[in-house]
Amino acid sequence: MNWKRYKNLSPTEKYNETNYIIGLDVGNDSSAIAFYNLADGVAEGIDLSGGYGKQSIPTAMQYVAESKEWVFGEYAVLGGGAGTVFPNLFELMGQGGHVDVDGRSVRVASVFALFIKELLGNVKNINPKAEIVGIVASVPAYFSAAAYEEFTQVFKIAGYEKELIALVPDRECVLARHYQTVKDVTERTLLLDLGSRELRGGLYSVKKNASGLSAVSMSSVFDSEISMAALNSDVEKLFESFLTGITGDLEAINTVGANNIREEFHAFTHQHKDVLFQKNIRTRPLKLYYNFVYPPVQHTITVEQVDRLVAPYVRRFNIFIRNVLEKNLYNKGVLPQQVDTVLCGGGGFEMLWAKEVVTKVFPKERVQFFKNPKMITAEGAALIAARELDLTGSPVSVEDNHQLKYDIGLADGENFLPLVERNGFWWQKHPSKLLLVNSMVNGTLELHIATLSPTGEGRSLANIHLDGLPARPKGVTRLEIGVKFHSNTDITITVKDQGFGDLFPQSDYEQEFAVSLGE
């Protein structure tokens, strides 16, 4: 059903038990799904594990050419050499890429749509007559405009274009879940998210306003070197070192059956990595049994080996927390004891060492670890969907002064060349862009700097005049243009001459221009 049509239904029609409002947390590593319980007015997770294990499933697919079938989630990761596995689809969003499926070039969006369709099909497990009437899906804060567009296309291909209400930044979903009932609070809230691609941190000033609660972003930092993907890679290398230390070169090892040794190791890591970081390894060593090689091999891993493995992550995590507190918009560091609430989300907080890092910095009574951190984001997305459908009030509104809400670039009539894309962060390093001037240059040139909103509305920032450029014919003046942010409101535009081939060599021309983003 079209969510706009559902929004206008009468209360009796809205509260039909077959109507389902869905929240999705589709991550690069794993995914979760939740629904808004119309009867109780709360968000509830949907168990994808079949009643045991984690409620989320790996964001992975496998194509089995022999049967021409797709398998999803855990079965895809543990499928060994049965077919081609497609992990990490989420990080490919925005690239417009293709993958090879049994000799055919298929759009990534089309493949990913199959996963989304499978994920949403689990709603039928609750109610065979279920009809999805609205969906909110969380997306990473770093998502580019191109990634937003392609991920929206994924839902269209999957057949859920009319049900998709919005794509919402994941941190807004977590805050919505935590502040699901309006409280009379004034506090500083630190949100930490240890996910597949990176560790993200944001400090918010939460206050009550006329419509509920507002969360104003004070700082926003991320570190891609602290991620589940990086740690998984290190765990796999550790497991490999144990095996090769006993049997020799990995490629010379005999496997049971015809399965690929690398695929077997990936599945083996997936099955055993979580056990390394739980409390039980503190009391007794873990025995690893490599039953996919011949002859089988056993190795015992100790807590000391695990501690050495995570030591670099622990050090960097502590530095990260300090950066989140110190590098804020107010240029005044916040002390750990000045943080009222610490919310820990993302699959990484299922590991004991990650929890210990946080509780050694902040008082334990102020830290909240969610029982199923992946599900929290999905439940928050479901609450936001219910809010958009006028089923519940607004739990919290988020004002982010770190993430750019518009493109910054060069405007020339109807043409616009983005230098910095929206959804990025002002404190990031933004790569320079090359501009080929399609006109004759006689020593001077004027460039118009402007912003462009998602709806196509432009706002002029400045006209910069380039004086002293080498005189050149049409189409052979090539400029490198860079943008450097000094704060969330002030930038410097740098223009360098890059020349054009041997006939028009690069000169030493370079100019800088201060530009304000203030409205």
pLDDT in tens, 268-296: 887 888 888 888 778 888 888 888 777 78
Q: Which of 117, 114, 147, 110 is nearest to 135 (CA)?
A: 117
Structure tokens of 459?
């706002």
Averaged over 23-47, what is the pLDDT? Answer: 90
| Residue 258 confidence (pLDDT) above 50 | no
| E strand residue ranges, 94-237 | 98-101, 104-107, 131-139, 164-169, 186-194, 199-209, 212-223
What's the rounded Cα separation, in Å, for the pair 2 and 21?
A: 12
- pTM of the shown model: 0.78
Helix or strand holding residue 256 (H, E): none
pLDDT at 60: 85
Residue 395 to residue 221: CA distance in whole angstroms: 24
Mean pLDDT of 126-136: 92
Alpha helices in 281-367 (DSSP H): 303-326, 352-361
The alpha helices in 444-494, defined as continuous H runs, are: none
Is the Cβ–Cβ distance between 451 and 458 less than 8 Å? yes
pLDDT attached to residue 137: 96
What is the per-residue pLDDT for 325? 92
**What average pLDDT does this structure show over 109-124?**
92
**pLDDT digits over 484-500, tens only?**
987 778 899 999 999 99
The confidence score (pLDDT) of residue 185 equals 84
Q: Where are the alpha helices (DSSP H) in 291-442?
A: 303-326, 352-361, 373-388
Could you give the CA distance from residue 93 to residue 106 in angstroms, rounded to a whole number? 14
E strands, 318-442, in order: 341-345, 367-369, 397-399, 407-412, 415-420, 433-437
Angle made by CA atoms 170, 176, 181, in degrees to the nearest 5: 170
pLDDT at 483: 94
Tokens found for residue 378 = 């999905």
Question: What are all long-range contacts of 464-467, with beta carbons under 8 Å and residues at least 24 apart?
Answer: 464/493, 464/495, 464/511, 464/513, 464/515, 466/495, 466/511, 467/443
Kindly report, residue by residue over 338-361, the tens digit of the pLDDT.
999 999 988 888 889 999 999 999
